[in-house]
Chain A
Amino acid sequence: MISYILRRAMYAIPILIGVNIITFVLFFVVNTPDDMARMHLGMKRVSEAAIVKWKDERGYNKPVLFNHSANGAKKITETIFFQNSVKLFIFDFGRSDSGRDIGYDISQRMWPSLAITIPSLIVGLLSYISFGLILAFFRGTYVDISGVILCVIMMSISGLFYIIGGQYLIGKFLHLVPISGYDTGLNAVKFVFLPVLVGLIGGIGASTRWYRTIFLEEMNKDYVRTARAKGLSELRILYRHVLTNGLIPILTGVVVILPSLFIGSLIVESFFAIPGLGSYTIDAINRQDFAIVRSMVFLGSVLYIIGLILTDISYTLVDPRVRLN
């Protein structure tokens, strides 16, 4: 297994280089270093000298991808791309274009993101699996049909509607929780409740249908028929046999997103004023802070690759037939 993990980790390097190049090219197609300087220095009374100085201080005075005036390897190394990318591979994110330590900011802002994403994942998983099981259990009855119709309707509604509707109903109309904001420690609970609830409701449609399909597929298999023939109750069949065997596709979907929980949610954090990594990324895009955008995209890619490796490992744990060779 260790050699498999090492091999996968090695595969990740060209992927990360590719992601880095694409991020870099896309960013610099839209923004030149001059644009970035203007954005950071403000709109009023910005002189050319100040722009030159800003670029000089941050290393944006070099050619973007290829340095024609340099010799040898410096043609590659004396470029914005190389200077900004190499350190990422040792997780040195450097400083943002406004001068802040990105690593420190990430370490501070991942906690609010986790405060939303972990409960959302746990509560969501439990709820969606339960709903999926209920619909599968009542397959073909009015519960199943109306449940599926409801799921399709809920899938069709924009996530923004749930956010604004949730804030209006729970926060503004019922006065049960603050509409937005965040606090630390136990005080965070009342701020986290609404985003988690909104995330839960927003995901019900798609996830419940997905889990229902998984369970229905399992329920038509021979071992379920055997269990019924043994006289087991439907609930026991459902929770003991169907759920256990349905775990493999569920794991595929869940384990892969586990590391990405750090990254947070872009829209939810913005609407609920959660100071997490999602809003950090959005802010950086709006401010054209390439150093942060590059770091967050890189981090996201690394976490996604870790998620995929973890998924493969988890296969071996839940299904003895799978071997990592």
Chain B
Amino acid sequence: MSLFLFCIGCDQSSWNNPYPHEESDELIYYDSFSERPKHLDPVSSYSSNEYIFLGQIYEPLLQYHFLKRPYELVPLTANNIPKPIYSDKNGGILPETAPEENIDTIKYRISIKPGILFQPHPAFAKDKNGSFLYHDLDENDLNKIYTLADFNVLGSRELQASDYIYQIKRMSHPRVHSPISGLMKKYILGLDELSKELNSLYSSDSSSGYLNLHDYSLSGVNLIDKYTFEITLKEKYPQFLYWLSMSFFAPMPWEADFFYSQKGFEEKNISLDWYPVGTGPFMLTENNPNRRMVLEKNPNFRGEIYPTEGEEFDEDLGLLADAGKKMPFIDKAIYSLEKESIPAWNKFLQGYYDTSGIVSDSFDQAVQFDSQGDAELTDEMREKGIQLLTTTTTSTYYMGFNMSDDLVGGDSERARLLRHAISVVVDYEEYISIFANGRGLPAQSPIPPGIFGYTMGKEGVNKYVYQWQNNKVKRRPVEYAKELMNKAGYKNGRDELSGKPLVLNLDTPAAGPGSKARFDWLRKQFAKIGINLVVRATDYNRFQEKMRKGTAQIFQWGWNADYPDPENFFFLLYGPNAKIDHNGENAANYKNKQFDLLFDQMKSMKNSSDRKIIIDQMVELVRYDAPWLWGYHPVGFSLHHDWYRNAKPNLMANNTLKYKRIDPDLRSEKRSIWNQPIWWPIVLIIFIGTIILLPAFFLYRRKENEQII
């Protein structure tokens, strides 16, 4: 206790401050993370909890505009948005409107900005003679090395077009798993061939050492000059530009790859997956995912300018106050590990985290709904100056039917009517209200708001499940579903052919007491039309296996958009992506030739009225076939303190830290007010304890003084 009081007394800040007092006035952003990142190698990473860090460190060619909506790509390290150049078989240039069958290859010529430097890193360090200092380390050298910080000399160099080419080649590297390698092989000319060539050289015995990718050519990616290169695609794929904004296409200096592949580094846990090397505004200076991750300003960062344009109300909201100023605005970002939501939430309320999400446990404390059903902050939050941001996510949570199932799947009218009836009775409005604290928008199709092709209002209503009444969307009544059931030959939930009651199975990886209420609710929904729903809960591995083998009947699944394009949602229903046959992302195994033809047509089109017409046709087809209950699109709620500025949800961009501004004086002042130690309960407890023990003391004294006569 005395050691505790001594240590606390040394610290002049609030006693419960988890950070050193000296940091109070610094431009530091504080946040938490709950799951350690699996990969920090940009070619392997494909998870939002990894992008929080990678997005600030690595710079792909393009990025999303921070303020503009709908989401718009703008150049990051590229000079401009590359335009496709279409060629025929003879190399002749074709116009943009050329029919797809005439197009042989599509080229993107990309030029990058000169003068961009990599962060300081030992991989670039050179001696006076220009030789790399740390590219030929032996066992003795490594004896003194435990982390990257043990290298005394750091270096840098200018970003070149070849660094992007190197990264694209890494997608086919046999020792690196890139989740988009399969997809890119389909589009980038020569990538598949390169992959085969490298794989033939590879065996598990030779799984270490440097593989110089410069020695292997990639026919579809060519260096033009120091700052320019060309990517050739085998077919039209406008979505390719979106991929160019993701970390898979971040530049990778060969020096770093060579440096980390030296003998003994892997044993010391020094790898590209642990110590990233980028050109972005921040660099990872502390990677201790068991405790905290620290990003610090990259001293070599060129300085990017805050956007000068935004949406209509952005200026009024103060989001353009920093327009034209050089970014980043903060010096450091500290992310602390918080595995449990309750401590993280309480520390946010104490001012020790600048932003927070809202978990169900804390929802009522933070948010209330007004008479119009709009979310607003509670008085407690408002008094603290906390602000709320809400946005409908570009995600969808749905319930799918296995279309290869004999009962619920297939193209028969009977199965279709059954699926429609179920779609009507599973009341997602109620589900959102009960289980998501109202944070969701019932889905009318696979496309969420904010994605091209989404239709609002009357025109966007799924007529098979909803009707438009009094300018509002209203779910069809249960009686309508019962009629559908009668037509399907399942009167009162009994199969008229066999006379047996209808029993359907929901396969789910969710188990435990937390899921019971959801399952009870779902059973109740199905029971409205006499269906007995059996929940077959299992662990995630078995669930995945059932999905792969197609033995699940009904399941629940979700999808977060990779990029803001309807193709990224419709491909979940595209026949050639069926899970059973192709291990693709079409978990429902939905197959409709007409839909697939329209998909092929739509995916390579630019956003236009023609594309919208095709999308509407596709939406109508899937609504009619109903392979999914369309479920809902979650609405994201996030909170931040008033010292945190330039907060605008951007669901596509991962590199938003550079836009953020912190007012450390206001934060320090509020923290001090909110966290004054309270002593009186301790004094009271000691006092009560003493009162209770006093008689015992007297009893002891009496016992000690007793005389045995």
Contact = CB atoms under 8 A, between A and B. Distances in A.
B179 A104 contact: no
A53 B174 contact: yes
A98 B271 contact: no
Contacts of A141: 696, 699
B46 A182 contact: no
A191 B18 contact: yes
Interface stretch (B111-119, B340-348, B608-616, B623-631): B340-348
A233 B700 CA distance: 11
Contacts of B14: 175
Interface string B281-301: 000000010110000000000
Contacts of B267: 101
A58 B11 CA distance: 48
A141 B693 CA distance: 12
A101 B179 contact: no
B469 to A, nearest CB: 39
B15 A176 contact: yes
Nearest to A196: B4
A272 B343 contact: yes
Contacts of A142: 695-696
Contact of B350 (A172, A275, A287): A172
Given A179-B16, A271-B340, A193 B291 contact: no
Nearest to A61: B204
A179 B46 CA distance: 32
B219 interface: no
Contacts of B177: 41, 50, 53-54
Interface string A11-49: 000000000000000000011100100111110111111
A186 B7 contact: yes
Given A44-B179, A101-B267, A279-B290, A187 B20 contact: yes
Contacts of A280: 290
A109 interface: yes
A207 interface: no
Nearest to A45: B179
B682 A174 contact: yes
B541 interface: yes
A42 B38 contact: yes
Contacts of B677: 174-176
Nearest to A168: B346
Contacts of B91: none
Counting contact residues on chain B (CB < 8 A from A), the size range is 35 or more
A67 B17 CA distance: 57
Nearest to A186: B7
A50 to B, nearest CB: 5
Counting chain A CB atoms within 10 Å of each CB, the highest count among B204, B266, B290 belongs to: B290
Given A42-B46, A45-B179, A273 B336 contact: yes
Interface string B199-224: 00000100100000000000000000
A87 interface: no
Given A273-B339, A283-B36, A42 B179 contact: yes
Interface in B499-529: none
B180 interface: yes
B433 to A, nearest CB: 27
A183 B337 CA distance: 12
Interface in B668-708: 675-679, 681-682, 693, 695-696, 699-700, 703-704
B204 A56 contact: yes
Given A45-B179, A167-B346, A40 B7 contact: no
A259 interface: no
A177 B15 contact: yes
B46 A98 contact: no
A98 B4 CA distance: 38
A179 B273 contact: no
Nearest to A146: B692
A31 B179 contact: no
Contacts of B268: 101, 104
A143 interface: yes
A270 B16 contact: no
B699 A178 contact: no
A31 B541 contact: yes
B704 A233 contact: yes
B271 A234 contact: no
B539 interface: yes
A176 B207 contact: no
B46 A181 contact: no
B269 A100 contact: yes
B18 A99 contact: no
A184 to B, nearest CB: 9
A164 interface: yes
Given A50-B177, A187-B20, A180 B338 contact: yes
A57 interface: yes
A119 to B, nearest CB: 9
B180 A99 contact: no
A46 B541 contact: no
A227 B337 CA distance: 56
Nearest to A35: B541
A189 B46 contact: no
B584 to A, nearest CB: 9
Contact of B179 (A41, A98, A168, A283): A41
B20 A193 contact: no
A171 B696 CA distance: 32
A175 B267 CA distance: 43
Interface string B13-42: 011111010000000000000001010000
Contacts of B4: 189-190, 193
Interface string A82-102: 000000000000000011110
B346 A171 contact: yes
Which are the 5 A-B pairs with shortest beta-carbon distances?
A275-B290, A35-B541, A178-B18, A180-B343, A189-B7
Given A46-B179, A48-B583, 11 more contacts: A45-B585, A99-B266, A99-B273, A104-B268, A137-B700, A143-B699, A168-B346, A174-B677, A179-B16, A190-B7, A234-B703
21 contacts: A30-B539, A30-B541, A45-B46, A45-B183, A104-B268, A138-B700, A164-B342, A174-B677, A175-B676, A176-B678, A177-B16, A178-B18, A178-B352, A181-B291, A189-B8, A190-B4, A190-B7, A234-B703, A272-B343, A283-B36, A287-B38
